[in-house]
Amino acid sequence: MATTQSYYLTTPIYYVNDKPHIGHAYTSLACDALARFLRLDGDDVKFLTGTDEHGQKVEKAAKEAGISAQSFVDKMSQPFRALSPAIGFTNDDFIRTTEARHIAAAQQLWRELRARDQIYLGSYAGWYAVRDETYYAESELIDGAAPTGAPVEWVEEPSYFFRLSRWQDRLLSFYDENPDFIAPATRRNEVISFVRGGLTDLSVSRTSFRWGVPVPDDDAHIMYVWMDALTNYMTAVGYPHTDSSDFKKYWPARLHMVGKDILRFHAVFWPAFLMAAEIDPPKRVFAHGWWTNEGEKISKTVGNVIDPLVLIDTYGLDQLRYFLLREVPFGNDGDFSHQAMVNRMNGDLANDFGNLVQRVLAMIQRYCDGRVPLAGPLEDADEALLRSAQNLITPVRDAFLRQAYHEALDDIWRVVRSANVYIDQQAPWKLQKIDANRAATVLYILAEVIRHLALVIQPVTPTAAGKILDQLAVNLADRTFSRIGPVGALESGTLLPEPSGVFPRFTELSIPSGEGGG
């Protein structure tokens, strides 16, 4: 088992101009699975999420709703907070950028930068896309719009600038010295070539609206929403109190999880701000891909936005969590389709894993009076399967630490499939009639293998894994990775509760025909 260490990980903070959709749920889920994994592995974890409540986009949405910006954000941040219990996110804090603790932190970072002459007063004349809260150069526009398709408007106003251009070389050597800072590798290359292309100073204040963090010592300006927002990661661990125990323990963050669309802010601007303020930059930024819906780009105008709560109602929570982390190599784009979801749910979960558990527990009830069987001498096949389950944690840990969730699940399912091959080869239902002791040994091995599978799958399918461990009478205190191997082995004779299915099948008479298929 790994030694105890602190691990601080964050989701982006979500704009409150709209309600949560599958994209928000996905970023947070990727963090949640890792946070759960690390806690089970004995680490001291802090997992942060929250809402990004300033800026023109939110102000505009409040105006459209006909209420004050403050009442609007108070109302709209609620569904994001409520997402955690609904999807089983185990965040330790939920930050809102309108909180006093955050405003103080953002202003302090500003003062540090100003004191070091990293910020100067000038004036901005150029394009701005409110939807992206991003400045664009004329040369970046495509048919008069932002490269993202967002409409742009011409902005001309006094503005403070951050001396980003000074940080180009330092950033490039930072990427070079920290090859794991940006993942996946393709994204890393994109960022490096962007920085190599040359950096211009960044406008970091606005004067044409008021909904933001006031710039210290200059009331006419509010901070650019991205500079404000990025600082949240430090606010939540106590900044500006850099002597606080939380700041010392958790900063620099080990991982900022983001979508590919917001990588530049996290991998270029953020480390530059921090280095300029003489604060350690985060250890890693992972940019995941985007989901489409049945092959189509998700958009409000198309009307195909996916509500994660509806998916949970339709397919189940663990099923959704498993699907999102298994269906695409983490980092790539993915397509959500009903057929693909049902295939995973019925194939991997119900047939492969669920059936295995049910068959084994039912046989233990029937042949062993519902008690953990007594194992006799082990044969090679028993040892091999048991060892593969006991050793599973090593590749799974390695994959989680690289955010390669799909690989971790693939490793786990390799053992699920071996267990299915073993049960068919050993045929304990036949053995029972000719050699009850041997049948008991086989069932013991299978129960132990299932215990290991349930332990390592907990971060992804926490409810079902919990139910399986309940059915094996594993105490709550014995569900961490420290119980992997013989040290946590099931005790023969322990009475087990009546088994019940954990991974139901999706049954629907009319799955849309002609879609997906295999």
Pick the closest to residue 268 from 184, 186, 201, 213 (CA basis).
201
Candidate list 74, 99, 157, 261; residue touching ligand MSP; CB under 6 A: 261
Q: Which is nearer to ligand MSP, 27 or 56 (CB)?
A: 27
Three-class SS of 109-124 = HHHHHHHCCCEEEEEE
Residue 320 in the binding site for ligand MSP (CB under 6 A): no
Q: Which is nearer to ligand MSP, 24 or 206 (CB)?
A: 24
Please give the span between the terminal C-alpha atoms of the chain, in angstroms, as a whole number.
39
DSSP secondary-structure letter at 497? P
Residue 41 in the binding site for ligand MSP (CB under 6 A): no
Stretch that binds ligand MSP, among 144-152, 160-168, 257-265, 369-377 (CB under 6 A): 257-265
Provide the token pair at 256.
Answer: 């900022």
Stretch that binds ligand MSP, among 6-14, 39-47, 194-202, 323-331 (CB under 6 A): 6-14
Residue 336 in the binding site for ligand MSP (CB under 6 A): no
Stretch that binds ligand MSP, among 82-90, 253-261, 408-416, 441-449 (CB under 6 A): 253-261
CA distance linking residue 447 with residue 152, whole number of Å: 60
CB of 296 to ligand MSP, least distance (A): 11
Strand stretches in 330-442, DSSP E: 334-336
Candidate list 174, 194, 290, 413; residue touching ligand MSP; CB under 6 A: 290
Candidate list 24, 188, 284, 338; residue touching ligand MSP; CB under 6 A: 24
Stretch that binds ligand MSP, among 22-30, 143-151, 307-315, 466-474 (CB under 6 A): 22-30
Residue 26 in the binding site for ligand MSP (CB under 6 A): yes
Q: Which residue is nearest to ligand MSP (CB)?
A: 259
CB of 431 to ligand MSP, least distance (A): 49
Q: Which is nearer to ligand MSP, 199 or 262 (CB)?
A: 262
Residue 13 in the binding site for ligand MSP (CB under 6 A): yes
State the residue for tokens 């951050």.
162
Residue 114 in the binding site for ligand MSP (CB under 6 A): no
How are beta strands 134-136 and 119-129 bridged, if at all? antiparallel
Residue 95 in the binding site for ligand MSP (CB under 6 A): no
Contact 128, 165 (CB under 8 A): no
Q: Which is nearer to ligand MSP, 40 or 253 (CB)?
A: 253
Q: Which is nearer to ligand MSP, 255 or 361 (CB)?
A: 255
| Helix extents (H) in 263-354 | 263-264, 270-276, 308-315, 317-326, 338-343
Q: Which is nearer to ligand MSP, 15 or 162 (CB)?
A: 15
Binding to ligand MSP, residues 212-241 (CB under 6 A): 229-230
What is the phi-psi region of residue 427: left when phi exceeds 0, alpha when psi lies from -120 to 50, beta otherwise?
left
Stretch that binds ligand MSP, among 121-129, 290-298, 390-398, 463-471 (CB under 6 A): 290-298
Q: Which is nearer to ligand MSP, 35 or 229 (CB)?
A: 229
CA distance linking residue 135 with residue 121, whole number of Å: 17
The length of the chain in residues reads 518
Q: Which is nearer to ligand MSP, 93 or 261 (CB)?
A: 261
Contact 451, 419 (CB under 8 A): no
State the residue for tokens 């958009």.
299
CA distance linking residue 514 with residue 324, whole number of Å: 23
Candidate list 298, 328, 396, 502; residue touching ligand MSP; CB under 6 A: 298
Binding to ligand MSP, residues 48-87 (CB under 6 A): 52
Pick the closest to residue 356 from 345, 365, 348, 368 (CA basis).
348
Contact 87, 44 (CB under 8 A): no
CA distance linking residue 430 with residue 439, whole number of Å: 8
Side-chain half-sphere CA neighbours of 200 within 13 A: 6
State the residue for tokens 């953990």.
372
Q: Which is nearer to ligand MSP, 26 or 315 (CB)?
A: 26
CB of 116 to ligand MSP, least distance (A): 22
Give Cα separations from 115 to 119, 138, 278, 362 (angstroms).
8, 32, 11, 70
Provide the token pair at 121.
Answer: 């007063």
CA distance linking residue 254 with residue 180, whole number of Å: 11
Side-chain half-sphere CA neighbours of 398 within 13 A: 8
CB of 21 to ligand MSP, least distance (A): 7
Residue 183 in the binding site for ligand MSP (CB under 6 A): no
CA distance linking residue 447 with residue 453, whole number of Å: 10
Residue 39, amino acid: R
Stretch that binds ligand MSP, among 8-16, 35-43, 427-435, 495-503 (CB under 6 A): 8-16
Candidate list 88, 238, 259, 271; residue touching ligand MSP; CB under 6 A: 259
Candidate list 15, 72, 211, 422; residue touching ligand MSP; CB under 6 A: 15
Residue 267 in the binding site for ligand MSP (CB under 6 A): no
Stretch that binds ligand MSP, among 20-28, 152-160, 401-409, 448-456 (CB under 6 A): 20-28
List interacting residues with ligand MSP (CB under 6 A). Answer: 12-15, 23-24, 26-27, 52, 229-230, 258-259, 261-262, 290-291, 298
